[in-house]
């Protein structure tokens, strides 16, 4: 028992301290960020190839391609990598049934050995592209404005090679959708904040821009071509550094996507996404692991720490509630709520309040894609998400994760 009297307080207070390092040391960088105005981009503006890897996405392409063609940007093309579709996508693109002027495509008939479908399709799309800048998205995404390309390009000013965009999920009235949107917000908060703190580690392929030359110099997906995931985050993890990454959070440059509809589909998707984290740089695994583990400890060892009342603890005189005062005001029943319990309660709610305020401001910065008033509730669920998927990720082989 004495062992726990020392271990639990050490774990709890260390976890709170680590959390505050991230909350006050990393996250505020995003709160003060302002995108470069698109009007200030130097001329001539670089050419942009919007690359979309598509597998049986005919209906989505019919909706997305006209929206992309309407983008207000002087020099861009749209390249669709048709990954062995059998829903009519090939004929639709071959005969240009949409009457497009900026759409090119490449047809993929078969996969080479040891190369996963999405990465091969993106690679072929980039190979087909003719412009200096690559801008990636998915067929089920929709830009929030006709200035998506222009706004993303503006962030390349200053010699940047990579722009990390924001891609929230559409709203639906369900608990799963709320959790998906909160998890997406948390992920964006982390990769944006880390990038601003000169430690970029990932991007999201639904809204990601980089220079075409960087893809070839960085050997594309060669180092992880056999993994289903990583066409966005592992690539950025490999080629990014503290000088070549910018972020773009403007409401004009966001890409909304449709979330998974069932828990099973979402779990499969998250297993695929999280499994590639084992291949991150050690620095990134350490930072992300510290962030996740400290949040888990803050929530899940609160009650054990609250009730132990360690023998070594003695509250300073100024912080105690005098017994005479308790007796005089008929608060005798509150003696069980002792000095130690008051300390743990104060530390926990102090941490939770600071975290709530910072995350609410970040949420507002990212267009309020979640309800700020519900952040503590979803933060507890998110800690559970960390626990469940952390265990799954540790014991899963990324080479055996299925796409569907």
- Are 192 and 30 in contact by the 8 Å Cβ rule? The answer is yes
Separation in Å, CA 350 to CA 16, 298, 343, 355: 10, 12, 10, 9
Position 155 pLDDT exceeds 90: yes
Spatial CA neighbour of 59 closest among 265, 268, 258 = 258
What pLDDT score does 396 carry? 57
Which is more confidently placed, 394 or 168? 168
CA distance linking residue 166 with residue 274, whole number of Å: 18
79 touches 49 (CB < 8 A): yes
Predicted confidence (pLDDT) at residue 400 exceeds the cutoff of 80: no
Average pLDDT on 90-100 reads: 95
Mean pLDDT check: name the lowest of 237-241, 296-300, 384-388: 384-388
Interacting residues of 299 by C-beta distance below 8 A, sequence separation 6+? 379, 380, 383
Please state the rounded mean pLDDT for residues 335-361: 88
Tokens of 334: 């509150």
Reported as a single tens digit per residue, the pLDDT across 277-334 is 788 999 999 999 999 999 999 999 999 998 888 888 877 766 666 666 666 666 555 5
Question: Does residue 344 carry a pLDDT above 70?
Answer: yes
- Among 374, 367, 377, residue whose Cα is nearest residue 169: 367
CB 255 within 8 A of CB 143: yes
Q: How confident is the model at residue 89 (pLDDT cuts 50, 70, 90)?
A: very high
Query: How far is C-alpha 164 from the geometric centre of its chain's CA atoms?
Result: 10
Asked if pLDDT for residue 117 goes beyond 70, the answer is yes
Q: Is the pLDDT of residue 1 over 70?
A: no
Q: Phi and psi for 246 in degrees, rounded to 5?
A: -125, 165
pLDDT computed for residue 40 by the predictor: 65
Question: CATH second-level architecture of 33-261?
Answer: Alpha-Beta Complex (3.90)
**In the prediction, which pLDDT does 387 show?**
85
Residue 247, pLDDT > 70, answer: yes
Q: What are phi and psi of 338, to 5 degrees?
A: -85, 180
CA distances 63 to 70, 101, 141, 143, Å, are 12, 16, 10, 11
- The whole-number pLDDT of residue 6 equals 86
Which of the four pLDDT bands, split at 50, 70 and 90, describes residue 401? Answer: very low
Q: Is the pLDDT of residue 366 over 80?
A: yes
Average pLDDT over residues 116-122: 91
Residue pair 56/85 in contact by the 8 Å Cβ criterion? yes
Candidates 136, 133, 137; CA nearest to 157 is: 133
Q: In degrees rounded to 5, what are phi and psi of residue 253? A: -120, 25
Give the Cα separation of 17 and 11 in Å (integer).
Answer: 10
Residue 381 vs residue 396, higher pLDDT: 381
> What pTM does this model have?
0.89
Q: Report which of 209, 218, 52, 207 is spatially closest to residue 121, judged by C-alpha positions.
A: 52
Ordered by start, the domain boundaries in the chain are 2-27+288-400, 33-261
pLDDT band at 154 (very low <50, low <70, confident <90, very high): very high
Percent of the chain with pLDDT over 90: 67
């Amino acid at each position: 028992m004495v062992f726990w009297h020392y271990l639990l307080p050490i774990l709890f207070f260390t976890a709170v301290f680590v959390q505050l390092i991230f909350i006050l040391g990393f996250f505020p960088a995003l709160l003060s960020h302002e995108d470069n105005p698109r009007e200030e981009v130097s001329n001539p503006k670089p050419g942009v190839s919007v690359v979309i890897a598509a597998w049986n996405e005919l209906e989505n392409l019919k909706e997305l391609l006209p929206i992309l063609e309407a983008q207000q940007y002087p020099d861009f093309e749209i390249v669709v990598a048709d990954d062995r579709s059998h829903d009519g996508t090939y004929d639709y693109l071959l005969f240009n049934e949409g009457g497009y002027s900026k759409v090119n495509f490449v047809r993929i008939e078969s996969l080479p050995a040891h190369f996963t479908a999405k990465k091969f399709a993106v690679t072929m799309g980039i190979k087909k592209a003719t412009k200096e800048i690559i801008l990636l998205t998915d067929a089920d995404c929709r830009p929030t404005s006709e200035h998506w390309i222009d706004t993303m390009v503006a962030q390349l000013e200053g010699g940047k090679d990579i722009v990390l965009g924001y891609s929230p999920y559409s709203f639906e009235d369900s608990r799963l959708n709320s959790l998906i949107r909160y998890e997406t917000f948390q992920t964006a908060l982390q990769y944006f904040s880390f990038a601003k703190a000169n430690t970029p580690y990932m991007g999201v392929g639904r809204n990601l821009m980089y220079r075409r030359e960087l893809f070839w110099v960085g050997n594309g997906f060669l180092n992880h071509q056999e993994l289903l995931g990583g066409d966005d985050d592992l690539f950025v993890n490999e080629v990014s550094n503290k000088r070549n990454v910018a972020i773009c959070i403007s409401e004009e440059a966001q890409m909304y996507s449709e979330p998974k509809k069932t828990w099973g589909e979402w779990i499969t998707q998250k297993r695929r996404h999280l499994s590639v984290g084992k291949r991150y740089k050690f620095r990134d695994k350490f930072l992300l692991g510290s962030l996740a583990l400290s949040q888990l400890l803050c929530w899940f060892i609160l009650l054990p720490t609250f009730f132990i009342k360690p023998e070594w603890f003695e509250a300073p005189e100024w912080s105690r509630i005098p017994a005479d005062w308790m007796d005089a005001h008929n608060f005798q029943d509150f003696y069980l709520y002792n000095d130690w319990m008051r300390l743990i309660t104060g530390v926990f709610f102090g941490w939770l309040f600071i975290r709530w305020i910072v995350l609410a401001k970040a949420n507002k910065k990212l267009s309020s894609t979640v309800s700020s008033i519900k952040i503590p509730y979803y933060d507890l669920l998110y800690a559970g998400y960390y626990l469940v998927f952390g265990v799954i990720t540790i014991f899963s082989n990324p080479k055996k994760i299925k796409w569907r």
